[in-house]
Amino acid sequence: MSWLRLLGAALLLGILAVASPTARESSGTPAARAFFAEGEAEAKAGKYAGAAAAFRKAIEADPDFVEAHQRFIESTQRQEAPASRTPTVPRLQQLYERWAKQYPKRAAYQWALGFLSHEPDTADVFFKKALAIDPGFARAHVLLAKNADIRGDWTAQREHLKAAVDASPDEPRYLLKYAQALQEIDPAHFRELASEVVRKFPATQAAAEALYRLAEAASHPERRAYFERLRTEYPAGAYGYGSSAMYDFYDELTIPSEALSVSRDMAKVFPSSKTWARRVALQEAMARAQALVAERNFADALELLEKTERPSGAHGATWTLLKAEAAAAAGHSELAYAALVDSVAAMPDDRVEEALVKYGTAANKTRPQIDADVWRIRDAKAVPAVSFQLPASRGSTPVQLSDYRGRVVLLAFWFPG
């Protein structure tokens, strides 16, 4: 075949592609991606009008670029209805209705009409229309899965997410969503798919989130290994879930020098954060107190701790244990016991409870006496709960907290969002 015939065949294929009756979901042409990047920069700066204009240009460059449609809609809503959780912008609705009529074979416009709807059942109608035009329109499957989740139809949720992954195997976010949908019913498959996200899509935000989800589902020492990997490979300044992981990691570290290392790293990344600056100061004080105890300089360690704000969570338990050890060694056993009792009364902790029994036994107290000391403090600080009334299910008599006086009440809050 001559080169002229080859050229003619290539041109014909190009013409057929342009004239294809059904437009497919796109991840953006180079020109559209350039405009999209401009829009993201404007949005990050809080300039939503400029962001919307840039995303609109991305749509004009590639009308099937679904991510540009989503960001155009979101930026316009932030610009025109910034205080609303369910923003309605009539001109957006009118624009997409006009586009959908003008280009009935473009699935992106049907998808956008569904995205604009705040009613899941109505939105699903448009998402299914988008799939009728383009069965491989992954983003429609993703939002159908979201609405199925709201309804509690988790079988449909998983089916739509699997379809999204099959349609867009190079999109890590869909694979991660599918992995999370399997977490409860098939933990091994969840771990396999989440690990696949990290392996196939390294250095992405989705990979950072996948590691974070794996850490959430793991126990020590595996959990710590995930956090350490996030710390080194997905630094907090560049990855949102890298930052979230360091908050969790810090909360779980019970050795002051380790917690200090993490807090110093985070203070460098977020120099204006008062939280991390305060944590640096707290951990520096506790690390110094621990060193003083190791040097048997108990009085100075106790004095330092008493001048230091007691931190919260696991670090509060560490602070209490250091204080008790320093106080007891300095000859103030009653102060050590009191600190431990106060801590257990406020927030039970296995390490502190073990120390409480140790110091209580040394003071010739029985376990019932120790428990009584704890409950004496709890009872002294207890206050009545705020009374409230809630509608009962199935139209029966409203429920009042006072109806359950003297009984243990479990309150569960659920947000279907």
Model pLDDT for residues 244-288, shown as the tens digit of each residue: 999 999 999 999 999 999 999 999 999 999 999 999 999 999 999
Asked if 143 contacts 108 with a C-beta cutoff of 8 angstroms, the reply is no
| Residue 37 belongs to a domain | yes
Give residue 84's pLDDT. 84
For 210-227, the pLDDT digits (tens) are 999 999 999 989 999 999
Looking up tokens 């100075």, which residue turns up? Answer: 300
What pLDDT sits at residue 252? Answer: 94
Judge residue 340's burial from the number of C-beta atoms within 10 Å of its C-beta, 0-12 exposed, 13-18 middle, 19 or more buried: buried
Distance set, CA 406 to CA 255, 366, 377 (Å): 40, 28, 19
Are 306 and 285 in contact by the 8 Å Cβ rule? The answer is no
Q: Does pLDDT of 7 surpass 70?
A: no
Over residues 300-314, the pLDDT tens digits come to 999 999 999 999 889
Whole-number mean pLDDT of the chain? 91
Q: What's the pLDDT at 415?
A: 60
Query: What contacts 147, CB < 8 A, 6 or more positions away?
Result: 120, 121, 123, 124
More confident residue, 304 or 416: 304
- Band (9; pLDDT cuts 50, 70, 90): very low
Residue 237 has what pLDDT? 94
pLDDT over threshold 70, residue 25: yes
In a domain, 30, yes or no: yes
Return d(Cα 16, Cα 357) in angstroms, integer. 81
* Separation CA 355–CA 200 (nearest Å): 47
Rounded Cα gap, residues 333 and 324, in angstroms = 8
Helical H runs in 168-310?
172-181, 187-200, 205-217, 222-233, 240-252, 256-269, 274-294, 298-306
The reported pLDDT for the residue numbered 22 is 55
The answer as to whether 279 is a domain residue is no
Instruction: Give the Cα separation of 144 and 148 in Å (integer).
Output: 6
pLDDT > 50? residue 87 = yes
% of residues, the chain, pLDDT over 90: 82
Instruction: Return the structure tokens found at 102.
Output: 């003008």
pLDDT of residue 1: 43
Residue 248: count other Cβ atoms within 10 Å of its Cβ. 14
Q: Is the pLDDT of residue 190 over 80?
A: yes
Beta bridge partners of 113: none
In angstroms, how far is CA 347 from the centroid of its own chain? 25
Cis peptide before 21 (omega within 30 of 0): no
Matching residue, tokens 């701790």: 305
> With 90 as the cut, is the pLDDT of residue 379 above it?
yes
Structurally, how many domains does the chain consist of? 1
Compute the distance between CA of residue 323 and CA of residue 256 in angstroms, rounded to an integer: 13
For the record, the structure tokens of 78 come out as 């932030």
DSSP 8-state symbol, 312: S
Find the domain containing 55 and state its range.
22-168
pLDDT beyond 50 at 20? no
Q: Is 323 left (phi over 0), alpha (psi -120 to 50) or beta?
A: alpha
Sign of CA dihedral 74, 80, 84, 87: negative
pLDDT of 85 reads: 83
Q: Looking at the predicted structure, is the pLDDT value of residue 8 above 50? A: no
pLDDT exceeds 60 at position 17: no
Q: What is the pLDDT of residue 402?
A: 86
What pLDDT score does 12 carry? 36
- CATH code where residue 95 lies: 1.25.40.10
Structural domain includes residue 219: no
- pTM value is 0.83
Give the model's confidence band at 6: pLDDT under 50 very low, under 70 low, under 90 confident, else very high.
very low
Residues 6+ apart with CB under 8 A from 225: none
Q: Residue range 360-388: average pLDDT?
A: 93
Task: Determine, yes or no, domain membership for 53.
Answer: yes
Instruction: At 106, give phi and psi (nearest 5°).
Output: -100, 110
What is the distance between the alpha carbons of residues 211 and 109, in angstroms, rounded to a whole number?
A: 35
**Would you say residue 174 lies in a domain?**
no
Smallest Cα–Cα separation from 208: which of 160, 181, 172, 178? 172
